[in-house]
Amino acid sequence: MIRNLISPNLSPRTIHRIFVFQNGLFSFSRRDNAFRGFSSTSFACKKNKVSDNVSDQNKAYSGTLLLPKTNFPIRADAANREHLFRDRCTKELYFWQLENNPKDLFILHDGPPYANGHLHIGHALNKILKDIINRYKVLQGHKVSYVPGWDCHGLPIELKALSELRSAEKLKMTPMQIRTTARKCALETIELQKLDFMSWGIMGDWENPYRTLDKEYEIRQLKVFHEMMKKALAEAELEYMEYQSRSVYVKLPIIEFPKDLEEFPPKNVYALIWTTTPWSLPANQAIAVNSELDYSVVSPLSANDNNTDSYLIANERLESLQNIIGTELTIKSTFTGQKLVGTSYTHPITGMRCNIIGASFVTDKSGTGLVHLASGHGSDDYEACRESNIPIFSPVDDSGRFTSDVGEPSFEGKNVLTDGTTAVIDFLRDKSILVKESKFTHKYPHDWRTKKPIITRAAPQWFANVEAFKRRTLETLIDIKTIPYNARSVLSQYILSRNEWCISRQRSWGVPIPVLYNVETDEPLFTVSSIAYIIEIFKERGTNAWWELEEKELVAPEFRNNGVEYKRGMDTLDVWFDSGVSWTFILEKYKRQDPHSISDLYLEGTDQNRGWFQSSLLTSVAVNNKAPYSTVVTHGFVLDEKGRKMSKSLGNIVTPDTIIKGGKNKKEEPAYGADVLRLWAASSEYVKDINIGSTVMNHVAESMRRYRNTARFMLGNLNNFNYNQLMKYEDLKSIDRYALYELYHFGKAVNSGYEDFAFNKVVQTLNNFSSVTLSAFYFDIVKDRLYADHVESLSRRSVQSVLYHILNMYTRSIAPIVPHLAEEIYENYKIVEPEKHDSVFKLGWYDL
């Protein structure tokens, strides 16, 4: 009815000219829209001559006018007053709307920020955009779920936690000590960040956030890993297959025994080692013995002189070694492995002096009880060498060929598994230190794609086989709404280019991958029942049990009596896997059975197309065969006013705290308050990179002042109005009905902007409506009637009825963006409402 009332060909300026003569109390005209209103002063000064008692005349005239009256202050003083309205529209409102709003649950799932360091302006943009959406949904009557989250694991937190410790302390720390320190650091950071988020007026369940370090979260994460494993979607980079290696026994001349063994002359005594990877001998940096085992110097039984070779081996390997070399051996002396630590020997290739060190993983179940260590080619080797301050060394390039660092020029460029192995064995034979070569069939790590044997240059990794479910993942993207539209193709391209995802990391602070390894062969105990058993332990004791319990306690009963000794793996899950399974929190919390997705919306920076958006999608499709979200919104990065990335070196960093509280120089960096920060975020075309700086913020603050003044005018002129005095539409004057027509279209435009997540269009609509439709047009026209008509006149009530409708819709329209201002406005007009609430958000959206 309203939209058809006024002819579309009748411009606001034309209507103005018509009504200025019909409704003005005094006989004077206004010729343009620049005139800002009627006051006693402006009227008194219309006389040809200003009398000496102008002040008295002004007082006399003002006494005859109904001037605006309101307690709503002109200045916001936001830094000092916003907190007065915060609780009612944040934590109190959050739980109220879940209980009372009638419409379906809307879930905006929070991408967890990293629990490390201070929050930056990008965090503010992200959280405020989410909050605007949530608040609009609340006003629309939806229940809204927004549970903040934090990403708590990873190397940066581990390093920060250790940064204040001395180097000597760091080296001595056990994994449990590192985990305890890192956990404390993460929890402290969360509390600091939480206070900042809340100061921005972000509504959510701040008392019950999800944190990737919580036991319940870690268990859900491991269940996802378990499910992927059962579907053969999570697997080691390495497969273990039967393989025939060229194994060698090599004798390395002892140079000098420690003082405890000075009675044993090292002449013709050799440390005997055995390896199935002869190619790794050029990288040898130490020999490991177990301090708890007994070792002996043995020699052939038939030896009659001191020039016969003697071998250093573990006592328990004597019988086996006799069978291997075909010679009966006799023990010449016996001692503990502890006494061998510090013994020096000659490197098999370079002839350099190396040392025997102690390592607990060494056993006397295979080989000789002495283990050749190459720190760059084995996880145990690496850990043992690191503890002895022996550097990492790997003379092998990415293509598996010896580099120039190998120590023997004839090896350079050769493939370590083929001609490189042959070259090393021939070299050992020529040097007369090769005791025995034989074929050895055993389980050996193979690449899961090529099925070829591998070389280890670092710790083996665990991978998610993305190739196996890539097609289904891409199919789910078809039904997902993305803003901007091209975000779908960006995310699709990342997935298309990915065949696998390395989900393991070598660090202490993380969720342990619950896989045990055969001590002798390094073969993983990667079975459904073994992992399920370990997860049950974690349910009771937490993931710290992985380091706290003895390894035998982690072995499932069915594998305890099979003659195999197991050791725990030291890998933890990638932090993107950590955060990527956060959809499990929503799934468990709400038991949502939507066949297409788990959450309604994910909103993060564009960099998350290769991060959290992707990891969430991959894990959800792998386990649930559906996407975790139905809509994905991406925003750009925040740059300075010159379009440059912010950095300390440029001195152009703008922090949320400075905008809200002001800088040291309040004239140059005034305290704008949280609402101005929020209005900046809403004003931006966030799908692109956006700018911030003093000039930008001044413009935003000016818009904020316009909203205040607009509301103040309406509040002041409704001071003696009551809801019961509302006039029916058909009884309103024509210009007032036209104002409602404009209000109707204003509401449609605002609704459309919010629904499309185009908040900058909402702000543009608000600015235009405030400056043009209201201030320059409608307010300018009706001031005469408001100020000069009788207080009970129908003409004045007609205007007030319209102002009531405008104020209600105006307050709801700005509320998602500037909630503190909206609450302050409502605090000043709820006295006229038929139903009073403590928050404007409890009123619902306002429709004409």
**What does each C-alpha distance from 770 to 184, 700, 829 come to in angstroms?**
50, 14, 19
All residues at 6 or more sequence positions from 728 whose CB lies less than 8 Å from its CB, including other chains: none
E strand intervals along 431-585: 434-447, 462-464, 481-483, 501-502, 504-505, 516-518, 524-525, 566-568, 572-573
What tokens appear for 375 in the block? Answer: 């720190």
Q: Considering 447, 475, 502, which residue would you say is the last residue of a domain? A: 447
> What pLDDT score does 43 carry?
32
Distance of alpha carbon 631 from alpha carbon 142, whole angstroms:
17
> What pLDDT score does 65 carry?
85
Contact (CB, 8 A) for 139 and 213: no
**Sign of CA pseudo-dihedral 604, 607, 611, 614:** positive
Q: 249-267: buried (b, 16+ CB within 10 Å) or exposed (e) per residue?
A: bbbbbbeebeeebeebebe
Please check whether residue 578 lies inside any domain of the structure: no
What tokens appear for 354 in the block? Answer: 């190396």
Please check whether residue 612 lies inside any domain of the structure: no
Please check whether residue 185 lies inside any domain of the structure: no
Domain boundaries, position 296: 240-447
3-state SS assignment for residue 13: helix
Distance of alpha carbon 164 from alpha carbon 833, whole angstroms:
58
* C-alpha triplet 838, 145, 591: angle, nearest 5°: 140
Please check whether residue 282 lies inside any domain of the structure: yes
> What pLDDT score does 449 carry?
38
> What pLDDT score does 329 carry?
87
CATH classification at residue 724: 1.10.730.20
What is the count of structural domains for the chain?
A: 2
Please check whether residue 387 lies inside any domain of the structure: yes
Please check whether residue 358 lies inside any domain of the structure: yes
Collect the ranges in the chain with pLDDT lower than 50.
Answer: 1-52, 238-243, 448-450, 458-459
Q: Considering 389, 419, 447, which residue would you say is the last residue of a domain? A: 447
Please check whether residue 119 lies inside any domain of the structure: no
Contact (CB, 8 A) for 268 and 308: yes
Say if pTM beats, i.e. exceeds, 0.85.
no
> What pLDDT score does 357 carry?
93
Q: Considering 382, 413, 447, which residue would you say is the last residue of a domain? A: 447
> What pLDDT score does 451 carry?
55
Contact (CB, 8 A) for 104 and 142: yes
Instruction: Name the one residue in this structure whose structure tokens are 């993207």.
Output: 477
> What pLDDT score does 366 carry?
83
> What pLDDT score does 437 carry?
85
> What pLDDT score does 389 carry?
87
CATH classification at residue 380: 3.90.740.10
Please check whether residue 274 lies inside any domain of the structure: yes
Distance of alpha carbon 740 from alpha carbon 751, whole angstroms:
16
> What pLDDT score does 217 carry?
96
